């Protein structure tokens, strides 16, 4: 089948649909990405245009296809111990300030394929006693959540993991699994994964001591960004910490957060 070309009107239809579903604003520069990632779905259904695919995902005729489209269009690159200063802060300042006797709870609110979640888990396991901490990882993409929950990665992904943590918490694959590694079962038991759409009302998730929402806000417009962060602040305990990406800012949003250093905030003690 010949390659289909994504027209500007078709791109606008798909862009507006993605925005309505998950609040992500696909810039015009993303048009080639949209075309390349959805092309295989046109081939799968034998469709001759992206307009026909748009009608398919919005008609309700293929129940699982809208989620597949969102999975394809919202996947972001991530890696272990990305933005190391955040992990230094977690180790050196956030953990020493934790509430005595309470379970330390962290939410990776857009965990993608899980590298962020497992980076946090290794650090917490190295610093805290078993049973005193837990992590929730969430994403809008079911495909990414499946990958994250498997905790199974190519060995090349391990380059940023400190050697001591890699040796202590990761199992090297053998035979058919050679060239891969997997996080230890004890670590995997401390992490819970959920599909959560951050622009929808939050389900019951409890209260967290620290929330990671990194390299996601850049895809939202200002109004959506403020709404998402305000919701997350509602489940961040007073005195808890909020991390965003180093290329992101919460300036001008009137949030109950105080900036401590670039991309690190603390919730004010008032409600």
Listed range (57-61, 107-111, 151-155, 177-181) with the worst mean pLDDT? 57-61
- Cα 212 vs. chain centroid, distance in angstroms? 9
Over residues 138-160, mean pLDDT:
93
Based on the domain organization, do 129 and 32 belong to the same domain?
no
Of the residues 30, 53, 74, which one is the last residue of a structural domain?
74
Pull the structure tokens for residue 239.
Answer: 């005195």
Task: Say what the pLDDT of residue 270 is.
Answer: 52
Which residue of the set 37, 91, 127, 237 is catalytic? 37
Based on the domain organization, do 61 and 104 belong to the same domain?
no
Taking only the tens place, the pLDDT of each residue in 209-258 is: 999 999 889 889 889 999 999 999 999 999 999 999 988 888 888 899 99
Based on the domain organization, do 154 and 228 belong to the same domain?
yes
Is residue 37 part of the annotated active site? The answer reads yes
pLDDT above 90 for 1: no
Based on the domain organization, do 31 and 143 belong to the same domain?
no
Q: For the domain that residue 123 is a member of, what is the CATH number?
A: 3.40.50.150
Greater model confidence, 73 or 126: 126
Q: For the domain that residue 46 is a member of, what is the CATH number?
A: 1.10.155.10
Over residues 201-205, mean pLDDT:
96
Is residue 139 part of the annotated active site? The answer reads yes
Listed range (56-70, 160-174, 181-195) with the worst mean pLDDT? 56-70
Based on the domain organization, do 163 and 39 belong to the same domain?
no
Which residue of the set 71, 98, 105, 139 is catalytic? 139
Over residues 175-192, mean pLDDT:
93
Based on the domain organization, do 98 and 159 belong to the same domain?
yes
The rounded percent of the chain whose pLDDT value lies above 70 is 97
Based on the domain organization, do 222 and 191 belong to the same domain?
yes
Report the predicted TM-score, pTM, of the whole model to 2 decimal places: 0.87
171 in any annotated domain: yes
Based on the domain organization, do 197 and 166 belong to the same domain?
yes
2 in any annotated domain: no
Could you tell me the residue range of the domain that residue 192 belongs to? 84-267
Task: Say what the pLDDT of residue 271 is.
Answer: 44
Based on the domain organization, do 97 and 67 belong to the same domain?
no
In the block, tokens 């250093």 appear at 261
Based on the domain organization, do 19 and 49 belong to the same domain?
yes
Taking only the tens place, the pLDDT of each residue in 6-21 is: 999 999 999 999 999 9
3 in any annotated domain: no
Confidence of residue 2 (pLDDT cuts 50, 70, 90): low
Of the residues 74, 97, 128, which one is the last residue of a structural domain?
74
The Cα 38–Cα 166 span in angstroms is 36
Based on the domain organization, do 99 and 198 belong to the same domain?
yes
Number of folded domains that form the chain: 2
Average pLDDT of the chain is 92
Of the residues 74, 97, 116, which one is the last residue of a structural domain?
74
């Amino acid at each position: 089948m010949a390659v289909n070309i994504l027209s500007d009107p078709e791109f606008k239809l798909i862009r507006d649909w993605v925005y309505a579903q998950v609040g992500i604003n696909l810039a015009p520069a993303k048009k080639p990405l949209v075309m390349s990632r959805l092309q295989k779905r046109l081939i799968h259904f034998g469709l001759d245009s992206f307009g026909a695919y748009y009608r398919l995902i919005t008609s309700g005729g293929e129940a699982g296809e809208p989620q597949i489209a969102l999975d394809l269009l919202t996947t972001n690159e991530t890696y272990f111990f990305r933005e190391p200063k955040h992990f230094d802060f977690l180790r050196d300042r956030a953990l020493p300030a934790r509430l005595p006797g309470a379970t330390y709870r962290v939410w990776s609110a857009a965990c993608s394929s899980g590298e962020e979640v497992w980076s946090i888990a290794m650090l917490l396991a190295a610093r805290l006693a078993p049973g005193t901490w837990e992590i929730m990882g969430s994403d809008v993409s079911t495909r990414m959540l499946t990958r994250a929950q498997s905790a199974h990665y190519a060995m090349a992904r391990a380059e940023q993991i400190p050697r001591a943590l890699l040796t202590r918490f990761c199992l090297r694959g053998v035979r058919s699994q050679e060239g891969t590694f997997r996080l230890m079962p004890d670590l995997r038991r401390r992490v819970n994964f959920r599909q959560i759409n951050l622009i929808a009302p939050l389900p019951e998730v409890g209260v967290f001591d620290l929330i990671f929402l990194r390299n996601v806000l850049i895809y939202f417009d200002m109004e959506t960004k403020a709404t998402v962060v305000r919701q997350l602040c509602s489940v961040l305990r007073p005195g808890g910490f909020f991390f965003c990406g180093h290329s992101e800012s919460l300036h001008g949003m009137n949030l109950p957060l105080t900036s401590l250093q670039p991309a690190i905030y603390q919730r004010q003690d008032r409600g």
